[in-house]
Copies of this chain bind each other. A is one copy, B any other.
Amino acid sequence: MHVFWKKGYESTTLCDLIEAMGLSKSSFYDTFGGKNELFIATLDWYSDTVVASFTGQLRSRSAALGSARAAITEAFDMVVEAAAGPGGRRGCFLGNCAVEVSSSDPAAAARIRAGIGATENAFHDAILTGQDQGDIAAGSDPRALARSLTSSLNGLRVMAKVNPEEARLRDIARLALSVLD
């Protein structure tokens, strides 16, 4: 997954893959079936673990901080730091894949849609909580807010690819979160 993440689908070769996994070519094909099958598997894995962990984190931090809004802010802070730090130019795995393959690989596109949808749902839940708690504007449609945050996160990651300067990214994150006011 990390190889696909760093180099993109088309640019990763079988050789990259087996080298990263320390596997022989035969074992690779026995185990994963092929490059595309592995790719699909990494998308599934990403949704099942990374996105799921993000969802859980958002929920548990909402509880710990007593504020869903603070948890969302924290999540954006972490993304900003990761994007500004070394290796931050990798962007978002799902976002990268969405851009690169979603129009040419339907099976991958479905996974990407599901993963992004799950992210959106995580924000949605947090926003509902925040609206109950009173620090997120109750007048706004929570679904629209969730979509906005998800979109902002993707935009942020694209911007980080172009210029990973932390101050710029902070500006963007701050304004992205202002929709919650």
* Interface, chain A (partner B; CB < 8 A): 6-8, 10-11, 89-91, 95-96, 98-100, 102-104, 109, 112-113, 116, 140-141, 143-145, 147-148, 150-156, 158-159, 161-163, 168, 171-172, 174-176, 178-179
Contact = CB atoms under 8 A, between A and B. Distances in A.
Nearest to A141: B171
Contacts of A152: 151-152, 155, 176
Given A89-B102, A176-B148, A159 B168 contact: no
A168 B11 CA distance: 32
Contacts of A95: 99, 158
Contact of A158 (B10, B11, B90, B99): B99
A171 B158 contact: no
Nearest to A113: B162
Given A99-B99, A144-B175, A148-B172, A158 B161 contact: no
Contacts of A91: 99
In the A-B complex, list the 3 residue pairs whose CB atoms are closest, starting with the nearest: A155-B155, A151-B155, A10-B10
Contacts of A153: 155
Contact of A98 (B113, B158, B174): B158
Given A158-B151, A172-B147, A163 B8 contact: no
A139 to B, nearest CB: 12
Nearest to A149: B175
Contacts of A145: 175
Contacts of A158: 95, 98-99, 151, 154-155, 158
Nearest to A95: B158
A48 B109 CA distance: 33
